[in-house]
Structure 1
Amino acid sequence: MLPSSALPSAPACADAAAPPGPARDAGGRAHFAVLDAWRGVAALAVAFRHINGTAFFLNGPLHSALSSAVDFFFILSGFVIAASYGERLARGFSLLRYAVLRWGRVWPLHGLMVLAYVLFETALWLRGSGGLLGGREAFTGPRDPATLLPSLMLVQAWIWPGRDLWNTQSWSVSVEMALYCGSALLWRVLGLRANWLALPAGLAALWAIALFPAGEQLLRGVAGFGFGMACWAVWPRLSALALPRPALQVAEPLLVGAALLAFATDQSLRLIDPLFVLVLLVFARAEGPISALLKTAPARWLGALSYSLYMVHMLVIGRLCDALAFVQARIGARWISVHLGGRDVILLDPLPAFGVVVAMLAVTLVAAWAAYALVEWPARDWSRRLAGRIGPQPA
């Protein structure tokens, strides 16, 4: 397969789009701006999904289905990692260098969030459990001390699949870290053939979910990441096709509408994952009206914050729920029911509940911006400098 940079140009055509391609940073990593923005939208959707309540928009089927945004993360990760590292690893790029780049990208913020939970549980333990926080006991349930070290080292999803521990949403990061390692070894051994083998592996994992429900989280990761790698295998040929511009203009809203309909009705990964694949391949071209919106500064900002937003949102939303519980206990109101493990329920009517949700998401975005500026970006920059001193310089 030809690398994307070596593909011939598509024929010029008055009503056809020129073949798109990813921008690349100084390190050779592929960058699809619109897909990055979609990552931010998906992270915000997951944050919204973790705010529960009695209002219709906080407990309906569409709200519940937003957890499937994690599967889009898996597909997008497989695509972007294959685009950025697949060929380079197949040609001998240092595995240690790759591991440092991936670990430095993911672990520092995760480690900080686990530490924040340890400090919170310690404060709760020192103060003693009480009614203000729903009778919570410190270091119980998802914050069991026995699970702390594996959670900190991001292996918890492989030891206790299906359990959401400490920074609960990091189960998907645990799955991804193993997928990063496994795919790197496949590229080293099989070369770019690994991208084509990823498709049957993804299909097998998707089929196996019904047979092995205990391993659902792991299989979701294998399926999504495999589909993403397969998407990169076909992307150079698809991106070189001269497609009519009106078709591209219509495809984006149709796909988004189909995905929302699937969320609200079926919610089966056997339907949602293929839809996500189509969304990725269409929006990677970035030539439709929704792509134009996702290229704007606010969408690009949201995309830049996506990982920080995903990692901090449960802690921030949980503490805001605790604050509401504290205030309502003081004034004798009944706004929220709080429970250990993030199962807090807002009891307000739809209009005030909407205001609370907007405020929670706004505070979460501010916290994500702080985490990005103070932790994620400096750690990523440091890991790139460290990786630059490992192994031969890439061509």
Structure 2
Amino acid sequence: MSSTRFRELDGLRGLAAAAVVVGHFTTTFSVHYPTAAASSFELHHGQFGVQLFFLISGFVILMTADRAKRASDFAISRFARLYPAYWIAVVISVVVGALANVPGTQLTPLQTLLNFTMIQRLLLVPDVNGAFWTLAVEMQFYIIVFLVLLLSKCRLTDVLLRWLVAAWLVIAVGSAVVAAVLAPGIDITAAPVLVRAMVNVTLAEYGPLFCLGMLLFMARRNQRFEWLTIPAFLAVVVSASLLHSPSYAAIVAGISVFFAFVALRTSTPPLRLSPLLWLGKISYSLYIVHVVVGYATIDLLWPLIGRDLAVLVAMLVVTVLAWGLYSLAETRITPALRRSLLRRADGRGRTAT
């Protein structure tokens, strides 16, 4: 099986993005706007699209790192890929949030400025956009991969990767166990600050998902089952159960099995449907702009046309906006920025030589 033309990844991204958007526009919107009319459709588990994104990220980032000739190439690739669209999304979130008084967007000037770093969550600064928290988690994962590339001089052997995954799983599960002991029976989102900080720093909940994604990439690339996939899956389930609940863990387990099923197959035709592939292509832009703009649109329109129609209009608005952001930032600014940064890195390399 080839790991290069794996079009199903875009289909999976499309599914994940759709789940998150629908969940936010139905269930989560009602939490932030309790006086709004009720939606006739709720997607209570739309949040679990995030877990699918993390599995995909583990798979894709290892695929990217596997091709890197220098650690700086990987860093430049990630920076150029994420930040142009993100910076525009921050501006959109600040402006729309202020104009429409969207809950959660009222930050101090310093907090707003720190949101441009993408790691504001790690600095204990609120996100101006409710979707941004996952990007800080992703950034932690990228930093780990960058350091491994740097220390190994880009020699990512399977043995090294297995040791990395094994160590990370032990740390993640150990941290989840400690959290369960310190805050027994409490969902991690309601645990004391120090407990949550420990879980966040060690990536106790999401690290096993990244690891499972990496192992499935290795299995697909090598056309051989990776035995560490089983303990990684168990770590995913155990951490989710300890930090949340057994029912929560069961959903995450189902998502993990589904992703593994797709990753280990040569082809999964339903995930190659054109609408899913297109949605997957713009999924990053859609994810980072949909919350504030979508909430503002629904809040403005539901008294006029009803909640359900307002949700549909909001979905159309954020999809068009995401397509525009993708066309501008991801297809134009990102390639130009990547080329510029790579030229500078090459120039420094020649000077050093």
TM class, shorter-length: 0.7 to 0.9
Select the residue among 250, 269, 272 that pairs with 1:292.
Answer: 269
* Distance in 1, Cα, partners of 2:74 & 2:111: 28
Q: Kindly report which structure 2 residues correspond to 1:202-213, keeping only aligned pairs within 5 A, or say none.
A: 202=169, 204-205=171-172, 208-209=175-176, 211-212=178-179, 213=188
SS in 2 for 1:219: coil
Q: Is the 8 A contact 2:97 2:296 kept in 1?
A: no
State the aligned residue count.
296
1:148 matched to 2:112: yes
- Tell me the equivalent position of 2:35: none
Q: Is the 8 A contact 1:105 1:380 kept in 2?
A: yes
* Distance in 2, Cα, partners of 1:106 & 1:235: 26
Select the residue among 147, 152, 159 that pairs with 1:185.
Answer: 147
1:57 matched to 2:41: yes
1:219 matched to 2:219: no
Q: Which letter maps to 2:151?
A: V
Q: What is the CA distance between 1:81 and its match in structure 2?
A: 1.0
Rate the CA distance shift 1:149–1:169 in 2: closer, same or farther, 3 A: same
Rate the CA distance shift 1:364–1:267 in 2: closer, same or farther, 3 A: farther
Q: Is the 8 A contact 1:176 1:221 kept in 2?
A: no
Q: What residue ranges of structure 1 are gaps of 5+ in the alignment?
A: 1-19, 24-30, 125-132, 242-264, 336-345, 347-352
1:38 matched to 2:26: no
SS in 2 for 1:51: helix
* Higher Rg of the two aligned structures: 1
- Tell me the equivalent position of 2:312: 358
- Tell me the equivalent position of 1:275: 254
Rate the CA distance shift 1:120–1:358 in 2: closer, same or farther, 3 A: closer
- Tell me the equivalent position of 1:172: 134
Per-residue Cα deviation, 1:138-179 (whole angstroms, up to 9, x for no partner): 9x765333322322111112122xx75112211111221221
Identity of aligned residues (%): 24
Q: What is the CA distance between 1:83 and its match in structure 2?
A: 1.6
Rate the CA distance shift 1:233–1:205 in 2: closer, same or farther, 3 A: same
1:234 matched to 2:219: yes
Q: What is the CA distance between 1:224 and its match in structure 2?
A: 2.0
* Distance in 2, Cα, partners of 1:137 & 1:102: 30
Q: Is the 8 A contact 2:105 2:129 kept in 1?
A: no
The CA RMSD over aligned residues, in Å, is 3.1
- Tell me the equivalent position of 1:68: 48
- Tell me the equivalent position of 1:253: none
- Tell me the equivalent position of 1:119: 95
Q: What is the CA distance between 1:209 and its match in structure 2?
A: 4.0
1:195 matched to 2:161: yes
- Tell me the equivalent position of 1:106: 82
Q: Which letter maps to 1:46?
A: V
* Distance in 2, Cα, partners of 1:164 & 1:284: 35
* Distance in 1, Cα, partners of 2:83 & 2:51: 20
Q: Is the 8 A contact 2:93 2:293 kept in 1?
A: no
Q: Which letter maps to 1:65?
A: H
Rate the CA distance shift 1:357–1:324 in 2: closer, same or farther, 3 A: closer
Rate the CA distance shift 1:106–1:137 in 2: closer, same or farther, 3 A: closer
- Tell me the equivalent position of 2:191: none
* Distance in 1, Cα, partners of 2:274 & 2:260: 22
Q: What is the CA distance between 1:279 and its match in structure 2?
A: 2.4
* Distance in 2, Cα, partners of 1:137 & 1:169: 14
1:315 matched to 2:254: no
Q: What is the CA distance between 1:314 and its match in structure 2?
A: 0.8
* Distance in 2, Cα, partners of 1:142 & 1:78: 33
- Tell me the equivalent position of 2:241: none
- Tell me the equivalent position of 2:325: 371
* Distance in 1, Cα, partners of 2:25 & 2:116: 25
Q: Is the 8 A contact 2:24 2:46 kept in 1?
A: no
Q: Is the 8 A contact 1:114 1:152 kept in 2?
A: yes
Rate the CA distance shift 1:206–1:167 in 2: closer, same or farther, 3 A: farther
Q: Is the 8 A contact 1:142 1:165 kept in 2?
A: no
Q: Is the 8 A contact 1:74 1:224 kept in 2?
A: yes
Q: What is the CA distance between 1:46 and its match in structure 2?
A: 0.4
Q: Is the 8 A contact 1:202 1:224 kept in 2?
A: no
Q: Which letter maps to 2:291?
A: M
Q: What residue ranges of structure 2 are gaps of 5+ in the alignment?
A: 31-37, 180-187, 189-195, 226-244
Q: Is the 8 A contact 2:111 2:126 kept in 1?
A: no
Rate the CA distance shift 1:206–1:38 in 2: closer, same or farther, 3 A: farther
Q: What is the CA distance between 1:40 and its match in structure 2?
A: 1.4
* Distance in 1, Cα, partners of 2:282 & 2:132: 16
* Distance in 1, Cα, partners of 2:12 & 2:87: 25
Select the residue among 22, 27, 37 that pairs with 2:3.
Answer: 22
Q: What is the CA distance between 1:227 and its match in structure 2?
A: 2.2
Rate the CA distance shift 1:137–1:358 in 2: closer, same or farther, 3 A: closer
Q: Which letter maps to 1:375?
A: A
Q: Is the 8 A contact 1:195 1:233 kept in 2?
A: no
* Distance in 1, Cα, partners of 2:204 & 2:118: 17
- Tell me the equivalent position of 1:385: 339
Q: Is the 8 A contact 2:102 2:295 kept in 1?
A: no
* Distance in 2, Cα, partners of 1:77 & 1:47: 19
Q: Is the 8 A contact 2:64 2:74 kept in 1?
A: no
Q: What is the CA distance between 1:268 and its match in structure 2?
A: 2.1
Q: Is the 8 A contact 1:308 1:371 kept in 2?
A: yes
Higher helix share: 2
Q: What is the CA distance between 1:78 and its match in structure 2?
A: 1.1
- Tell me the equivalent position of 1:83: 63
